[in-house]
Structure 1
C-alpha cells in the first residue's frame, strides 16, 4: 500500500536472504531480477513504510538503534540520510550530477551529525559526515556513525 501507485498485478520485489556466507537471513534486498523498476518499487514501498511509522507514532516513542535509542524524528532522519547518500552513490556510479534540497540536508545533518562543520553547505557537509568526501579543513572520514539519540 505504500507506493503512490500500489501494484495490483504483482508484488513489490523484496527478498529476504543472506548475500554473503553466514550473512543474516533477515536482511532486506531488492530482487535483482526485477531490474531498476523493481528497485524503485522496493525503495518507494520502504519509504512509505518509514513515513507511516513516523507519522503514527507519538513523539515520545523510543526504540533501539545501534547509534542510540531514538525517537520517530530520529528514525525519519536516519531513513532520509540513507536515501540521500545511497542515491548519491548510485548517481556517482552512473556519472549523473545529483544534489538534494539544501534545507532537507541541513535538517538531517543537524539531527544526526551535530559535530559537522556549519560553515560548509549542508549537502557537502553531509557527504563529508558520511565519509564520502574530504573537506579543505577536514580530512575524509574512514569511519563514522551518526548520533541517533533523542534530542531534548
Structure 2
C-alpha cells in the first residue's frame, strides 16, 4: 500500500511530491536494507513513468525524447523529504526461498498513488469540473486538466 501527498501550482502546472508512506508485504525479509532500497527505487521509477517521462515522436515517426536533455527522469531533488517505507513481515504461505516475496517489480505500481494524488489535487482546484488528467502528469498535462482540456 502507498499513500502520497502532492502539491500542484495551478498557474504553471508544476508539481511536487511532498510525502510518501509505503507499507510493503515482503514476506520474510532476507535483507531488510536491500528490500527497502528495492522498494524505494521501484517507486521512484514508477513516479517518473507517471509524472515526467513523456515519449514524443515527430511527423516522421522519430522519437524526439531520446536523451537526458529531452526525456526527464526523476532526479534526487524529486525525492520527497518524507519518504517512509515499512515492511509487512507476513511469511509467504507458498514454499519458496526462506518465505520471501517479490520486492523489485511491485513497488513500481505503487507509484500510481502519485498520479491519483495529482488527480485529486487538480479536482480540488477545479471542484465543479470533471478531471481528465493524462499520464504522464507533466506540467503541460496538469495545466490542460486544470483548464478542462
Higher strand proportion? 2
Higher helix proportion? 1
TM-score greater than 0.5 by the shorter chain: no
Higher alpha-carbon Rg: 2
Q: TM-score, normalised by structure 2?
A: 0.25
Flag the structure with more relative contact order, 1 or 2, with Cα contacts below 8 A and sequence separation at least 6: 2
